[in-house]
Amino acid sequence: METKTIDTHHIPVRYFEGGKGQPLVYLHGAGGILAGDPILTKLAEKYHVHAPLLPGYGDSEECGELRDMLDIALHTSDVVDALGLKDPILVGHSMGGMIAAEMAALAPHDYSRLGLICPAGLWLDDHPIPDLFAMLPYEMPQYLFHDVEAGTKLMTAGVALDDPEWLKGFLVQNARQMGMAGKILFPIPDRGLSQRLYRVRAKTVLVWGDSDRLIPPAYAHAWKKAIKGAELVSIAEASHMVTLEKTDQVVAALAKLA
C-alpha cells in the first residue's frame, strides 16, 4: 500500500492505494486504519484499493467545515471524484459503512455495488449500541473482539499509559479522530439514514460478525430489511472487528459484488 495525498474542495486528503483490478473504495471505521491493515492487504490482492482517511485521522489535516452527515457524505463523494473513479465498489466498515450507505442513498445512480461491514447508522431501541464515547480503552476489547484476550493484546501493543508523552500523543490522536467521528456518531449514531435507505439501488452485501457486541446482529436484519435485495453474510466467531478477526471471510463475502 502506498500513502498518497489528493486535493479536494475542502482539504487535501490522505489515502492508501494499492493492488490491481476493479477499483474499490474502502471507508474505515471510527478507530481509523493503517496502511498495513490486513483487510487492505487482502483486498489489494484482487482489487485496485483506495482507502481515504477522514480528515483528522492518522496524520491527515482536520477540517472544521465538515460538521454533519451531509457534509461528510458529500466530501467523501468529492474524494471519489478527485480519485477519478467512476462507480467503484464502495465498501465501508462501521462508521465507514454509515458514510458509504449515505453516499449510495444520496446518489443512487453513482454506486452500483455496496459492501457494508457491520455499519453504524441505525438505532433500535431494543438493542441500544454501547456508548463508544464513554468507554475507557481497557473496556473496548470486550465489545470489539470475539477473542477478547487476543484483541486486548492487539490493542495494547505499544501502549505506554504511564509515559506522559505517549499519553499526550494518544489523547491528541483520540481527540482528532473520535472528535471527527462524534460529528456523526455522538451521542447516538443515527442521523436519519433509515428514512433514506429506500433510495439505495446498489447491489448490497452486508457482512456481520455473529458475536458483534458493539453493533449486535439484530442490526444486520434491520439493514437487510431497509435495503431492497441486500444479501447478508454472517461470520461465526467474530465481533465488530471482523475485518481483523476473519479477514479472508470478509474478502470472500465482498467477492459477491465483483
Partner 1 sequence: MKFTWFNLMPWPYLPDDFREKHRSVWVDIDSRLFDPAKSHEVYNSHMDLLEYASTLGFDGIGVNEHHQNGYGIMPSPNIIAAGLARRTKDVGLVVLGNSIALYNPPVRVAEEFAMLDCISGGRLVAGFPVGTSMDTNYCYGQIPALTREKYAEAHDLIKRAWNEPDPFAFNGRYNKLRHVNIWPRPIQNPMPIHIPGGGSVETYDFCIDNTYSYSYLSFSGYIRAKALMQGYWDRVAARNAPDASPYRAGFAQTICVAETDEEAERLYSEHVSYFYNRCLHVYGGFADAPGYRTIKTIQTGALSQYAPPGEGGYSKLTWKDLVDGGHVIAGSPETVRQRMEELIKSLNVGNIFCLLHVGDMPKEKCMYSTKLFAEKVMPKLRNMFPDYADDNRFWCKPLAKRVTPGISTNEMSMAAAVGGKD
Residues near partner 1 (CB under 8 A) are 62, 64, 67, 131, 133-136, 139, 164, 168, 171-172, 174-180, 182-183, 186-188
**Residues with Cβ within 8 Å of residue 165, at least 6 apart in sequence:** none
Closer residue to partner 1, CB minimum distance, 80 or 140 = 140
How far is 151 from 156, CA to CA, in rounded Å? 9
Q: How far is the CB of 183 from partner 1 (least distance, A)?
A: 6
Closer residue to partner 1, CB minimum distance, 34 or 171 = 171
Q: How far is the CB of 38 from partner 1 (least distance, A)?
A: 26
Q: How far is the CB of 174 from partner 1 (least distance, A)?
A: 5
**Residues with Cβ within 8 Å of residue 214, at least 6 apart in sequence:** 94, 118, 129, 130, 132, 143, 144, 239, 240
How far is 33 from 43, CA to CA, in rounded Å? 14
Q: How far is the CB of 193 from partner 1 (least distance, A)?
A: 17
Helix (H) or strand (E) holding 248: helix 247-254
Query: And the C-alpha cell for 135?
Result: 468507554
Closer residue to partner 1, CB minimum distance, 178 or 205 = 178
Sheet strand arrangement including 231-235 = 2-6, 13-18, 47-52, 22-27, 89-93, 113-117, 203-209, 231-235
Q: How far is the CB of 94 from partner 1 (least distance, A)?
A: 16
DSSP-assigned beta bridge partners for residue 25:
50, 90
Q: How far is the CB of 187 from partner 1 (least distance, A)?
A: 5
Closer residue to partner 1, CB minimum distance, 2 or 162 = 162
Closer residue to partner 1, CB minimum distance, 30 or 254 = 30
Query: And the C-alpha cell for 173?
Result: 490522536
Q: How far is the CB of 138 from partner 1 (least distance, A)?
A: 10
Closer residue to partner 1, CB minimum distance, 46 or 183 = 183
Cβ contact 13:77 at 8 Å = no
CB-neighbour burial class of residue 82 (10 A; exposed 0-12, middle 13-18, buried 19+):
middle
Cα of first residue to Cα of last residue in the chain, in angstroms, is 21
Closer residue to partner 1, CB minimum distance, 38 or 182 = 182
